[in-house]
Copies of this chain bind each other. A is one copy, B any other.
Amino acid sequence: MIRYIDDVEGHRQIVSFHVPGDFVDLHGYPLRVLDHSIATITDALIAVVPHSQLSQIMDSDPTLARKLWAATLLDAAMHREWLFRLGRLEAVGRIAHFLAETDARLQAIGLSDGRTCALPITQGDLAEITGLTSIHVNRVLRTLREENICLLRASRLEILDRHRLYRIGQFDPTYLYLKATPPTSAAGAESARQQRE
């Protein structure tokens, strides 16, 4: 599922991307009104939690309440990283960063084995995520493929050179607040951001 904001001409900017297990619309509870739209991009199984139930938790279980709060702040942390991506990286970096991030999140929930994972998005979706045109996304994906870094085809992402992918995207997964470090070969590249000076 995605959350997005439309511009005047109806072109949308995707502002977040959700994987199975995410509490997608928890922001709606404290805010009451939502400032953006939500959509599915694949078939999805959805659970609904009434606000009254959330209020009950707030009243009776501060520990769980705090965890719910933290869950929404994780979204905020990802928003910030996305801002970094759009503001400071050019096309290849943006795409590499998104692919790295998404793979890391899928790994955390057991939907990526560290080499390949299902990623059912179109190049047009990727364009709406990265602030590019689908045409340019296509060009970038080609070079990533030709350089044997990664491969996005037929709704599958295959990572061939995680180290370079992370470096190109300046990806450092700490902002995802994953309990354990992602299982596989993330080690070599885990602190791309810290390299400076």
Bound-state CA distance A58–B66 (Å) is: 8
A27 and B170 in contact, given A66-B58, A84-B5 (Cβ under 8 angstroms): no
Interface string of A2-23 (1 = CB under 8 A from B): 0101111111011110000000
Chain A binding surface, main DSSP class = helix
Give A131 Cβ to nearest chain B Cβ, in Å. Answer: 3
Q: Check A69–B72 contact: CB distance below 8 A.
A: yes
Q: Which of B7, B62, B70, B175 contacts A170 (CB 8 A)?
A: B7
Q: Check B30–A69 contact: CB distance below 8 A.
A: yes
Tell me if A189 is interfacial: C-beta within 8 Å of chain B.
no
Contact residues in B for A193 (Cβ distance below 8 Å): 6-8
- Residues in A50-71 with C-beta less than 8 Å from chain B: 55, 58-59, 62, 65-67, 69-70
Contact residues in B for A131 (Cβ distance below 8 Å): 86-88
Tell me if A187 is interfacial: C-beta within 8 Å of chain B.
no
Q: Check A31–B84 contact: CB distance below 8 A.
A: no
Stretch of A73-81, A112-120, A140-148 contacting B (4+ beta carbons < 8 Å): A73-81
Closest B residue by C-beta to A5: B84
Q: List 12 A-B contacts (CB under 8 A).
A: A5-B80, A7-B84, A7-B196, A8-B193, A8-B195, A8-B196, A11-B88, A30-B67, A33-B177, A35-B177, A72-B72, A79-B82
Residues of A within 8 A of B (CB): 3, 5-11, 13-16, 27, 30-31, 33, 35-36, 55, 58-59, 62, 65-67, 69-70, 72-77, 79-84, 86-89, 128, 130-131, 170, 174-175, 177, 192-193, 195-197
